[in-house]
Amino acid sequence: MKLTVKDLSMEFEQKVVLKGINYTFESGKIYALLGRNGAGKTTLFNCIASDLQATTMEIELDDGVNVRNQLLQEDVGYVISTPVVPDFLTGREFLRFVLDIHKIDYTKEELDGYFDYLIIDEADRDILMKNYSHGMKNKMQMLVNIITKPSILLLDEPLTSFDVVMAEQMKQMLRDIKKDRILIFSTHIMELALDLCDEVLVLHDGYIQEVNMEDLSKDDVKTKVIEMLSEETL
Ligand SMILES: Nc1ncnc2c1ncn2[C@@H]1O[C@H](COP(=O)(O)OP(=O)(O)OP(=O)(O)O)[C@@H](O)[C@H]1O
pLDDT tens, position by position, 52-77? 999 999 999 999 999 999 999 889 99
Integer CA distances (angstroms), 51 to 11, 43, 81, 103, 207, in order: 15, 9, 16, 25, 20
213 φ/ψ sector (left φ>0, alpha ψ -120 to 50, else beta): alpha
Contact, 153 vs 197, CB < 8 A? no
In our burial notation (b when 16+ CB lie closer than 10 A, e otherwise), range 23-59 reads bebebeebbbbbbeeebbbbbbbbbbbbebebbebeb
Is 68 a pocket residue for ligand 1 (Cβ < 6 Å)? no
Pairing type for strands 16-26 and 2-11 reads: antiparallel
Q: Three-state DSSP class for 56?
A: strand
Per-residue pLDDT of the chain (234 residues; tens, 9 = 90+): 999 999 999 999 889 999 999 999 999 999 999 999 999 999 999 999 999 999 999 999 999 999 999 999 889 999 988 888 999 999 999 999 999 998 999 999 999 999 998 889 999 999 999 999 988 898 898 888 888 889 999 999 888 878 888 888 888 889 988 998 999 999 999 888 998 999 999 999 999 999 988 888 888 989 999 999 998 764
| Residues constituting the chain | 234
- CA dist 175 and 170 (Å) reads 9
15 lines ligand 1 (CB under 6 A): yes
Out of 9, 21, 34, 43, mutate this one to test ligand 1's pocket (max ligand atoms within 8 Å of CB): namely 43
| Confidence (pLDDT) at 102 | 87
Q: Is 187 near ligand 1, meaning CB less than 6 Å away?
A: no
Ligand 1 atom nearest to CA at 39: 21
User: How many A from CA of 15 to the centre of ligand 1?
Assistant: 10
| Residue to mutate (ligand 1; options 10, 41, 203; most atoms within 8 A of CB) | 41
Degrees to nearest 5, angle at CA 234 with 28 and 224: 60
Q: For position 233, what pLDDT does the model report?
A: 64
Strand partners, 23: 5
- The Cα 134–Cα 69 span in angstroms is 36
Parallel, antiparallel or unpaired: strands 2-11 and 67-68: unpaired
Neighbours of 68 (CB within 10 A): 12
Task: Check pocket membership of 82 for ligand 1, CB cut-off 6 A.
Answer: no
Distance 93 CA to ligand 1 centre (A): 34
Are residues 148 and 74 in contact, defined by beta-carbon separation less than 8 angstroms?
yes
Assign domain 2-82+152-230 to its CATH superfamily: P-loop containing nucleotide triphosphate hydrolases (3.40.50.300)
Report d(CA 205, CA 224) in Å as an integer.
16
Backbone angles phi and psi of 161, in degrees to 5: -90, -5
Q: Report the candidate in 44, 63, 14 with the shortest Cα–Cα distance to residue 182.
A: 63
Can you give the pLDDT at residue 166? 83
Which residues pair with residue 79 across a beta bridge?
Answer: 155
